[in-house]
Amino acid sequence: MVSKNNKKVAVIGSGGQLGKELIRVLDTNPGFDPISLDHSSIESTDKASVFDALITDKPDIVINCSAYVGVDDCEDHPRDAFAVNTIGAGYIAEACSQINAICVYISTDYVFDGQKNSPYFENDIPNPKNVYGVSKLAGEQLTRAYCDKHFVIRTSGLYGVSGSSGKGGNFIETMINLEKSGKTIRVVDDQVLTPTYTVDLAQSIPDIVNTEAYGVYHVTNGGFCSWYEFAKTIFDFKGIVPDLLPTTTQEYGAKAMRPMYSVLENSAISNLGLTPLRHWKDALIEYIETMHY
């Protein structure tokens, strides 16, 4: 039942893995009324579409999960990446400012270059090394420039129950499908990150927004690992011994450069007294049990 005292929350990109989880979380939270805005409801790269949708719904909070997420694909299609991740973000933030709504922009660990070799704090200077990271950093900047009431939430290695439509499934699904095919699986062992479960991230966002302590936040599960360790842990939890081999970034030869170390220090949420997200291994166990792999 909709309450006039509830906050109306529009989720742009509600068809994606994080967007779907946010709708579910908000729908079960008595303080919020979610508004689902998928690609059929709003075109983030079209200013008129953005303004029409948001002015019509007049949400109190807008969470922008819309993103062009294929990291290697962004190298081949930079115009598309910037259209969604940057220009679209600017339109959304501008519309939020006009209707006095809070604007939440979901960003990435890839805004950093990975040269620090220790966890990145929110005030560390970004230096993205690929088109995806550059476009997301520019999206952050437009969000902050156009809307004073903003939250920029950077996260890392997202996976969720719905998978990632932009990537043809998440990393875990990819690993399990490769194992079933009987192929040798090679995963880079020199890129370190924190895998983050969309359930945990989605549950934390309303708590952060409710503080009205606007700014930049790092929100990931706890701990860190390499992609190879992530893959090995997936199979360990399932009791499978696959043909899994570590490789290097150079040997793997992906088109886009990746940060070698992109662990995010979740200091801002700790400073607010909010509960940090659980360890990535605990989240992974729940995900695997939920999916019945």
What are the residue numbers of the active site?
Answer: 132
Q: Are 80 and 69 in contact (CB under 8 A)?
A: no
d(CA 85, CA 201): 20
Q: How far is CA 124 from CA 111, 149, 259, in A?
A: 10, 21, 15
Torsion of CA 160, 211, 150, 17, to 10 degrees: 10
Which of these, 151, 48, 147, 152, lies nearest to 97 by C-alpha position? 147
φ and ψ of 183, to 5 deg: -80, 155
Contact 179, 242 (CB under 8 A): yes
Number of residues that make up the chain = 293
DSSP E strands, 130-251: 150-155, 158-159, 185-188, 192-193, 196-197, 215-218, 225-226, 244-247
Residue with tokens 């790269």: 45
User: Would you state the torsion angle of the CA atoms of residues 281, 249, 139, 22, taken in this order, to the nearest 10 degrees?
Assistant: -20
- What does residue 14 show for φ and ψ, rounded to 5 degrees? -70, -10
Query: Which of helix, strand or coil describes residue 284?
Result: helix
Burial 11-49 (b: 16+ CB within 10 A, else e): bbbbbbbbbbbbbbbbeebeebbbbbbbeeebbbbebee
